[in-house]
A and B are shown apart, each in its own frame.
Chain A
């Protein structure tokens, strides 16, 4: 938000006790930046404004240590910080001013809490003497963010800064990660600390003690169920990637020979090539994984939370199966699905402890059952999608061609809607930690800034974002951020001139009453060029190969718009309220 000169600002600046400064004492803003540096922060996504100006003045002095990236809207900062955090495993940091600056972060914060993404948001606040007076750009951001942060805190005293920042990073990163918001009043930024600055990392807190190592008896009980099961079925979620437990998961799968399916956010943790990988779960997941959920005798759920998009109608969900639930957040145990053997702890630790206790096994016959369903799905859906007879290009072929060209090893950032589900279905993930999308919140507009954040966090990897024409226009302004950085983020718009997923639901469940889903779009390529970003449109199947090659070959940001079939539907589909076993193929 723009800085607005007003009476208060001038008075505050005049009150600064500059004259009594002793050399070793620094002000709150410098303390903040030094604390961030001490926490290992190298990148900040932010946007300046009145109540955060002292911090911006301080950042000016630290440009060699901290790379501040100026976004075009605070929501972009939040999603970029999420993308950065998801790919790097580090805490994403964003900085914004008070009032609208802070409220613009809210969608990103809500996204981060539901997708367990570590983030520290630092926002300015009006001077402490103005709190509660409806001062210019004053919002009770503490009150606003209580339900969507893992922790929030208001700093009104410069001396608190190092300790609170250390605590913020510890809380954001440890246990089940999540967003932390720190609200700093302008006077706390300006005033000198009364003691010399020192930053000590936070390693534990009295009131917050996440359990990393599960209890042995829980692990033993889980192992017993796993060893007894005839038709065990493993579900892995985001928790595996967060814990960095991919190797342990692989060892576990190979020793027990269980079939393994992914949640949306678990995708890429196990390669699609792995013989035990049977697909993904949920509303638009695979046929076999959904149907056989209701035929297995044990679910081994690791780092996942039985989202309603995974379970469908809960009263008809896996009633026959026992459940082993490995999960770091104790509040997730029994929240949706009752666990017969809960294991509270970090996925990596839990798998390490479980591994020696489980028997080597052979579940080939059981695993073969998935293949029968795969064959049906392949014939009815996958093949027609990948080799369509339609005149227009279909989303699936774009994704699969991209998958082939990038050998399944790119970082894929999908936005929200049909293109997201198509990406999850048709990109063949072969490398761990490669899929970023807004799963829990379903935030349209997530992908462009998140892809940029991911590229900042993993500059050596190819980052491709897959975005719908509706989503793209929600955070289109971040093209400016990408252009200014020059980072080669690749952007694919799958343009069907519709809010496709809503249209699909209107077609299937609302008698084709297409209520406000058709879009008259701008010329995306002209817009990109206006931002200084190269791009072109691909409208014909025979140009798709070359188009993707051209995009991938570019060492600059690049926008590829693909004109796709207007009214295609994502199948299979478990309609809301249906049972997973009643998944529809058409």
Chain B
């Protein structure tokens, strides 16, 4: 009996060891810490990570950067941003050329290009797409020999066992795939989808103001299923031929071209909706929102947002080559080595879910991720400041051949004053001086240094660098900064105190209460980690003798306060949708006031002169006249100070030496197709960096065995003692 038990135990232990051995040996034998089990073979595989699971992959709905990281590789709008050229330039993607823009009057008659803006009632964008572009292989497009769609009439129990691997769990369980050519009607269909209220597209409300017939179409289809829109016409969007379509917009809106470079305007085959809307598929999470269908360089092979997502090279991807031109220094930097070569270069992209920064950073250093951001706790390990105030990689990073890429984002963060507030708001001289005094006191250079490891640029106005109208040399805010020693320097606090005194709050004393002026700062920063930041804000106001009360609240209550105008001071930010000043100045346009109109003007700023200039500027093409108007608008906002211009964050990204064709492009999201990986170099480096260290383990075992001897003796002695 005893020997039987020992035998069983031995078998279990052997099985366990066998399983562990199998598990570990499935990775490269010398890299026990390799987190990837699959053999790369000869494929070029890129490893990236994501920290938050994306919510949507339907191009009509997706709007976040973490969603674009995936869908921009799969869907193709008619236009895209040139990868290398600066300033950002929109170029054709699936289109054969830039759109033909036709201005029309109220009667639909064609106008000349130099016509006055006020005469333009409509603008037609006529877009011609390339022929022979095909969709990725997908079951929604699979047809039988009679040309009928194989999977468009699935039975409710999904039991078409001859064509589906049962139990059906993912899209890959459909055995057959098909494809078809991209046609202009697919772009029209997608715009109809944007209008359908059931899609809940975030840009539907904006497009109602521009695309002719968009609103009427939305009302017309509101109670119809998604699949019913195919044969219903939308007046402003029509397919002119198999490869040509036209979008008619109201008035003149030059920024519309930027929307046409966003995934919202990607093509969608009607078959996709018919396929995914069948009963039973949504229960398996097989929806268009999770399994995209596009024409882009990649297709989604695995979608497990809880763990891993994999993109594979689309075998039917059309002809597209690496750009042959760029900026002057691009050739020198080696960015044109692949010029003219067919895209994409990478066969497979693996995105792993990584929520914590420590394992993420360690895996990057071990070579298991090809790129990484820099978290605050690893900043000092990666970056050092040079004597001239610049940044450089630390020797340990350089030794590993890691490359640093920095770029100022096209985002603005600011502290806003509620202009409807009785104390800080309004157009009076007193309120304006109070705002200006506070703007001088809140030292955002210090903020960037303390809380952002220097990863930001103090803002001088509404526009971030890289946006037309931004003037780096002369565009300082003269109300807050002086130009001294060849750089902008924040005015001394005495200047702020003088302004405060002029505003009637000498030494920060409120004449009504005879006590320190109290201001309220509404924020969603409620965690312990945010406390230093809030204390810093308090100290900035204390410089002027003003008492700042932090009103930390949850996101919903904060939003409610903003909607009802009950906040006094707040911090807000904006990330550019497209590289045009209109996309920033509209944040201060009176008709976009949050309280009165529910718009994005959170400060509720309203200056008739500013509004007039905005209306004039927004529809203009870039020109000297437009540039001058932009400078006038900047001056008005700097003078009125509805915002304390905060900062534009600076991205710091690290890439291993084997990562090629690196150039920051803050507008394009489809950069993966340009990326190339030197897989041989990566394999070699990984091998070198990840040799297991066994000696501490062996030492531990030896110590354990040595300790075992006295332990057994003690045990025996104890047993003898208790027996006695």
Partners in one complex: no
